Structure 1
Amino acid sequence: MLVVDFGAQYAQLIARRVREANVYSEIVPHTWTPAQMLERNPAAIILSGGPSSVYATGAPFVDPELFAAGVPVLGICYGFQAMAQALGGDVAQTGLREFGGTEVEVCAAGVLLAGTPERQTAWMSHGDAVHRAPDGFEVLATSSGSPVAAFEDRARRLYGVQWHPEVRHSAHGQEVLERFLYDGAGLSPDWTPGNVIADQVAAIRAQVGDARAICGLSGGVDSAVAAALVQRAIGDQLTCVFVDHGLLRAGEAEQVERDFVDATGVHLMVVDARERFLTALAGISDPEQKRKIIGREFIRVFEAAARDLVAQAGEDGADVRFLVQGTLYPDVVESGGGEGAANIKSHHNVGGLPEDLEFELVEPLRTLFKDEVRAVGLELGVPEEIVWRQPFPGPGLGIRIVGEVTADRLDVLRAADAIAREELTRAGLDRDIWQCPVVLLADVRSVGVQGDGRTYGHPVVLRPVSSEDAMTADWTRVPYDVLATISTRITNEVAEVNRVVLDVTSKPPGTIEWE
């Protein structure tokens, strides 16, 4: 099944929800012609949302030819409006914008809304609305800001909803998608994460051939699963390179060797680059600069490691042409890699890569979300200690220090982070929390009183969040007694910190990491 991306932040989320329904999906840009889409022989097509107005000059449009091809189509939000306009319906501003949870009234269940309540909460995000459905369509639902909130033409197998069924806040969203997939398009739920492994192993072998590859192994789930997948494909042609850049949490390097290497037997090269990274980051406070510097230095270290491997192999050794990365789709979207997506922040492994990159990239997880990666990891036999590990960004603690990164500040943050992780684990919350970044406000000072004396130390921020895929997140309601223990321990044991605060911002509007 194809998802046509009109620049939506949620395009890949649609694809993932389809996969959750055990139907394989891929994303294509809206710039593709109907002929290009139909060449892929899709069993069904979903048109995503997007930031444009369908009647604005230069807005993306859908060629009516697509709807005459006999392929079942579901339009979502912008895709719904584009379908209505292309087939002769009316789209205009109502003056009533709808954002967030909205009550939808079902006036005819049809195929799409069968089995769902007459009144239901759906997640809306639009300023325009369909005022009149095209000829041949039955109106299924309305809302206060959408005279036509859903419609379908069963004869032509064309369907549409104004809301976002792919977002969990739409109470019956997954049911709507499954009604389209199973009943509207007649698809069978027979795709599993195991298919990802088989497909990627074949793709990796075809891409790499007889050449050698290195993998930037961080110890996190993304790089570990990417390494395990590539190792299954090319065996000892792969060498993993673990870079100790000095921005790691306490015990990070030891965990890589203890858990991953012991479990997989992969060949590991450890590079001590702490001084190199700290020197490159000296005097830098801007977060985008930090990310780009860290991305650049990673690549330079990998290039040096590749030269060392070639030298060790001698004249008969194959060149190291490929670099394996655990890039996920949220990294790509936030770095502006989606079709029309905004650049929210440059991830070191996407927007932070240098232009003179000497490697070809192998990124077998690039179209997946974190929970899908975990499922693939378990299928590959990656140890659960790594599969269920809380995510940790590639730039490490470098983007959890608001201000310049120095060795002293890293030591302070490492100590506070270790306490928070230890207490959350002790409380049995590791599976309940997506991750809990600890942020050091290095350029902020706070007055405190400790030992009957005045202190002027740094605040640290606890950022516990719950999420499925990092595209959206909510702050985790950690029990007060656990927060109190963390706060007391940090202010008692980390001399430079005299204040612990809690970040209670969701995503959006905030990102998970502060920088």
Structure 2
Amino acid sequence: MDGYAKDAHDGAYGRVPDLCEKGQPVAQNGFDQSNQKVLVFDFGAQYGQLIARRVRDLHVYSEIVPCDISAAEVAEMAPSAIILSGGPASVYAEDAPSIDAGIFELGVPVLGFCYGHQIMAVTLGGEVAHSEVGEYGPATLACDNESALFKGTPMEQTVWMSHRDAVSRVPEGFVVTGRTDVCPVAAMECPERKLYSTQFHPEVRHTEHGQQILKNFLFGVCGLVEDWTMDNLAEQKVAEIREQVGEDRVILALSGGVDSSVVAALGARAIGKQMTCVFVNHGLLRKGEPEQVEEVFTKQFDVDFIHVHAEDRYAELLAGVTDPEQKRRIIGTQFWNEFFAVAKQLEEDGRPVKYLAQGTIYPDIIESGARKTGGKASTIKSHHNLIPFPEGVHFDLIEPLDHFFKDEVRELGLALGLPEHIVYRQPFPGPGLAIRIIGAVDPEKLSILKDADAIVREELDAYNQRLFEETGERNSEHSCWQYFCVLPDIRSVGVMGDERTYARPVILRAVESSDAMTADWAKLPYEVLARISGRIVAEVPGVNRVAYDITSKPPATIEWE
């Protein structure tokens, strides 16, 4: 049994199937630019998506598929390799995920981790037993470095374990290649059939030679090459959009963030003025952003640009609403209503729209619990661009980034020639400041939060720039990946100018991350924190206290709502 608690993003393989009245999205899982493809079977591991990330980090295309996919379906996909993820279940539990045994007969190299290690064992005739002593965290692995999997790694190395069940008897034809004091079969293999597995997790950074183990499997065992690059990918995505759209028109949900900006750049290169970029201004953007978005996208791209001023309509709809999911639903529904109105006007003008392009990325789908294959999945939080269209809308979707993580989107943006100030723009949720204001949204709270957030961004932009100049790395060890303010629905007592105040606190949130799937709070220098706090209290009326959120993700999310 994998000791990880089952996370809510267990198996997001694509869009929710009923989002479009006209069926499935037109652009899905379509960017394996060579004949190489690694399929990652998801058994519900907390960090299952990291496996696909680690493979892509090695410039090999990978995609996640459900663990109950059939051998026939796998054969049709013609993968170059298969990786079996971990998972929270015991292989002997009544509802435990299983695997089609025929997959091991396809002649495709297979590597299993944790639950994947155990399911490989029992499916092929081995045994798994429940141990009285579990292994959680770092463990010392003694391995056979003559094995192709451990080539170039030490005979003793630190690995990351999270299990109580363990393989007690290997299948026929397998040999043990790794063990720990607690786990006698920490790694096993059948080289003749190219089947390998480990009880530990090579995909996590805590396994010190984990990436080398992945390299050994992909390049040594499978004979793959590093040919999945962003430069090649940009041209492929442009060609795909051009082929899909033909002579039809596209409307783009443009927020000004990196995700939709990259889609705009792809669309501009592929189809030019066949794309209409629609910027819905809901009045919940950060200070100065509506003006910046309009300036950039009327000058940077050769596309139509429409600025929809919907501030008053959103303010009326959100008045008195305190529940965060209700806020998201209201904002999402109105988001589509605004789009529908623009599309209807375009049709009346003789320019009917067939396609809707969006900047949906992989974490959006995972956190929304979407699952292309059906079945029940949990939801961490809903996303505005995953809420069903209003009745009567008939768009096909173009979502070229729906299987990209955030850092991959940034790489693609640079490959497309986007300026750095767009590519490295602070991540910002679609519902905007509405979900950074705890409780009801009103003009006073918006004003406070916009002013406080502007100070935070100014100071931490400068802090990141200093680190970049010192290290030459855009995302160095101590740089902040995302930073913003939260305005809670409380007041606190303070003293300002020898007088008692009863004003609002502001909560500072700054995290280090690369993909938004996991994040740690940023270890900012005290003098930076002091300057931010001092400026906010001095410059923002209605604030008398600043707190710093030092919670990682998990257990928290990056946003508060």
Please give the range of the TM-score, normalised by the shorter of the 2 chains: over 0.9
What whole-Å deviation, never above 9, does each CA across 1:269-324 have from its counterpart, x for those lacking one?
00111111122222221111111221111111111111122223x3xx3x212211
- Aligned residues of 1:64 and 1:87 also touching (Cα < 8 A): yes
Quote the RMSD (CA, aligned, Å).
1.9
SS state at 1:57 partner: coil
- Aligned residues of 2:456 and 2:532 also touching (Cα < 8 A): yes
Check if 1:239 corresponds to 2:239.
Answer: no
- Aligned residues of 1:260 and 1:383 also touching (Cα < 8 A): no
Check if 1:445 corresponds to 2:491.
Answer: yes
- Aligned residues of 1:282 and 1:406 also touching (Cα < 8 A): yes
Which residue does 1:10 correspond to in 2? 47
CA distance in structure 1 between the partners assigned to 2:156 and 2:438 by the alignment: 46
CA distance in structure 2 between the partners assigned to 1:75 and 1:341 by the alignment: 23
The structure-2 alpha-carbon separation of the partners of 1:206 and 1:29, relative to structure 1 and needing over 3 Å to count, comes to: farther
| Runs of 4+ with deviation above 6 angstroms | none
Which residue does 1:150 correspond to in 2? 187
- Following superposition, the deviation at residue 355 of structure 1 comes to 6.3
Structure 2 counterpart of 1:437, which letter?
A: F
The structure-2 alpha-carbon separation of the partners of 1:81 and 1:199, relative to structure 1 and needing over 3 Å to count, comes to: farther
Which residue does 2:86 correspond to in 1? 49
- Aligned residues of 1:194 and 1:379 also touching (Cα < 8 A): yes
CA distance in structure 2 between the partners assigned to 1:94 and 1:497 by the alignment: 55
TM-score, normalising length: structure 2: 0.87
Structure 1 counterpart of 2:140, which letter?
A: V
Check if 1:103 corresponds to 2:127.
Answer: no
- The 5 Å alignment of 1:409-488 reads 409-427=445-463, 428=465, 431=474, 432-441=479-488, 443-488=489-534
Check if 1:178 corresponds to 2:215.
Answer: yes
CA distance in structure 1 between the partners assigned to 2:89 and 2:481 by the alignment: 32
What whole-Å deviation, never above 9, does each CA across 1:447-499 have from its counterpart, x for those lacking one?
11111111111111111101110101111111111110100010111121111
SS state at 2:294 partner: helix
- Following superposition, the deviation at residue 354 of structure 1 comes to 4.3
- The 5 Å alignment of 1:66-465 reads 66-99=103-136, 101-109=137-145, 110-312=147-349, 314=350, 317=351, 319-338=352-371, 341-350=377-386, 352-354=387-389, 356=391, 357-427=393-463, 428=465, 431=474, 432-441=479-488, 443-465=489-511
Could you list the runs of 5+ residues in structure 2 that have no partner in the other structure? 1-37, 469-473
- Following superposition, the deviation at residue 164 of structure 1 comes to 2.3
Structure 1 counterpart of 2:440, which letter?
A: E
The structure-2 alpha-carbon separation of the partners of 1:321 and 1:160, relative to structure 1 and needing over 3 Å to count, comes to: same
- Following superposition, the deviation at residue 10 of structure 1 comes to 3.3
Could you list the runs of 5+ residues in structure 1 that have no partner in the other structure? none
What whole-Å deviation, never above 9, does each CA across 1:98-134 have from its counterpart, x for those lacking one?
44x3113123121112222333333333342222222
- Following superposition, the deviation at residue 61 of structure 1 comes to 1.0
- Aligned residues of 1:129 and 1:145 also touching (Cα < 8 A): no
CA distance in structure 2 between the partners assigned to 1:437 and 1:464 by the alignment: 7
More contact order relative to length (CA 8 Å, sep ≥ 6): 2
CA distance in structure 2 between the partners assigned to 1:459 and 1:140 by the alignment: 56
Structure 2 counterpart of 1:508, which letter?
A: P
Structure 2 counterpart of 1:181, which letter?
A: L
Structure 2 counterpart of 1:272, which letter?
A: H
- Following superposition, the deviation at residue 9 of structure 1 comes to 4.3
- Aligned residues of 1:89 and 1:134 also touching (Cα < 8 A): yes
CA distance in structure 2 between the partners assigned to 1:498 and 1:359 by the alignment: 48
- Aligned residues of 2:251 and 2:355 also touching (Cα < 8 A): yes
- Aligned residues of 2:40 and 2:82 also touching (Cα < 8 A): yes
CA distance in structure 2 between the partners assigned to 1:355 and 1:148 by the alignment: 54
- Following superposition, the deviation at residue 97 of structure 1 comes to 3.6
CA distance in structure 2 between the partners assigned to 1:281 and 1:124 by the alignment: 47
Structure 2 counterpart of 1:22, which letter?
A: H
**Higher mean displacement: 108-117 or 136-145:** 136-145
- Aligned residues of 1:295 and 1:354 also touching (Cα < 8 A): no
Check if 1:508 corresponds to 2:554.
Answer: yes
- Following superposition, the deviation at residue 93 of structure 1 comes to 2.4
CA distance in structure 2 between the partners assigned to 1:177 and 1:217 by the alignment: 38
The structure-2 alpha-carbon separation of the partners of 1:369 and 1:222, relative to structure 1 and needing over 3 Å to count, comes to: same
What whole-Å deviation, never above 9, does each CA across 1:376-424 have from its counterpart, x for those lacking one?
1111111111001121111111111111111211111000000111111
The structure-2 alpha-carbon separation of the partners of 1:125 and 1:404, relative to structure 1 and needing over 3 Å to count, comes to: farther
- Aligned residues of 1:7 and 1:341 also touching (Cα < 8 A): no
Structure 2 counterpart of 1:13, which letter?
A: L
- Following superposition, the deviation at residue 345 of structure 1 comes to 1.1
- Aligned residues of 1:259 and 1:383 also touching (Cα < 8 A): no
CA distance in structure 2 between the partners assigned to 1:121 and 1:404 by the alignment: 49
TM-score, normalising length: structure 1: 0.94
CA distance in structure 2 between the partners assigned to 1:75 and 1:272 by the alignment: 52
Structure 1 counterpart of 2:354, which letter?
A: R
CA distance in structure 1 between the partners assigned to 2:278 and 2:110 by the alignment: 45
- Following superposition, the deviation at residue 152 of structure 1 comes to 1.4
SS state at 1:37 partner: helix
What whole-Å deviation, never above 9, does each CA across 1:50-78 have from its counterpart, x for those lacking one?
23222111322112221122110011222
SS state at 2:88 partner: coil
CA distance in structure 2 between the partners assigned to 1:331 and 1:276 by the alignment: 26
- Aligned residues of 1:139 and 1:151 also touching (Cα < 8 A): yes
**Higher mean displacement: 274-283 or 252-261:** 252-261
- Aligned residues of 2:268 and 2:302 also touching (Cα < 8 A): no
